[in-house]
Amino acid sequence: MDLRRGAGLACLAMGVLLPAALMGGAVAQESPPRVIDVRIENREVVAPQEAIRITQGDVIELHWSSDEAVALHLHGYDIELRVGPEEPAAMTIEAFAAGRFPITGHGWGGSGGSGGSHDALTYLEVYPE
């Protein structure tokens, strides 16, 4: 009997707490995403100099600027983005998975070809909460 009553209470608590938690989550998501500026010069990321470090669950915007046209590719999350000298571009990342994800550049010079190096320009490091 006691056990059943306990389970009932737990269900009740879940019923109250779960929507609250979900709403809390929804509210948190509406706050403006953190912006990180990333600058490419001479085919290297000059700022930030270290890897981009964020926490799992964060929503961030990477604002890219480059002195040369390039197609960027964030591996793992698999987001692609073209950026050039006259066209800065932004990448929104909702960090649902932790890990260390390389960002590579392809098609330097805007030719749309496959040219590029497999070396990572920088890394996105998503740490667990």
Partner 1 sequence: MTSAGGRFGRRAAALAAATLAFLHGAGPAQAHAFGPRYDLPLPLDLYLAGAGAAVALSFAIMALVFRARPAEGGLPPIDLLRLAPVRFLSHPLATGGLKAVSLGLFVLVLAAGLFGNQDTARNFAPTFVWIIWWVGLAYIAALAGNPWPALNPWSIAFAGFERLLRSSGARSRPGFGLAYPSWLGVWPAVALFGLFAWFELIAETGIVPRVLAAAILIYSALTWFAMAAFGREVWLRHGEAFSLAFGVFGRFAPIGEPERASPDGGPAPWPLRPYAGALIVDRPCSFSMTVFVLLMLATVTFDGFKETPLWGDLLQGIALAPWFHPLIRQLHDLGFDFQAALETVMLALFPLMFLLVYLGFSWLTKQASGSRRPVTEIAGLFVFSLVPIAIAYHLAHYLSYLLIAGQFIIPLASDPFGLGWNLFGTAGYGVDITVVGAKFVWYTAVVAIVVGHVFAVGVAHLVALRVFETAGLALRSQLPFLALMVAYTMASLWILSQPIVGGPSLSTLRAPSGDLTLAPFEFREMCVEMTSQDELHYDFEADRPIDFDIHYHDGLTLHFPVRHPGIAAQAGRFVSEQDQSYCLMWLNRSLMEASLTYRVIGP
- Which spans of this chain sit near partner 1 (rule: CB under 8 A)? 22, 25-26, 29, 42-44, 51, 56, 68, 73, 75-79, 94, 96-102, 104, 106, 108-109, 111, 113-120, 123, 125-128
Give the nearest distance from C-beta 49 to partner 1 in angstroms.
14
CB 19 within 8 A of CB 47: no
Give the nearest distance from C-beta 81 to partner 1 in angstroms.
13
- Smallest Cα–Cα separation from 37: which of 94, 108, 91? 91
Helices assigned H by DSSP within the chain: 2-30
Q: Which is nearer to partner 1, 6 or 109 (CB)?
A: 109
Q: Which is nearer to partner 1, 3 or 111 (CB)?
A: 111
Give the nearest distance from C-beta 127 to partner 1 in angstroms.
7
- In this structure, the number of other CB atoms found within 10 A of the CB of residue 94 comes to 12
CB 28 within 8 A of CB 54: no
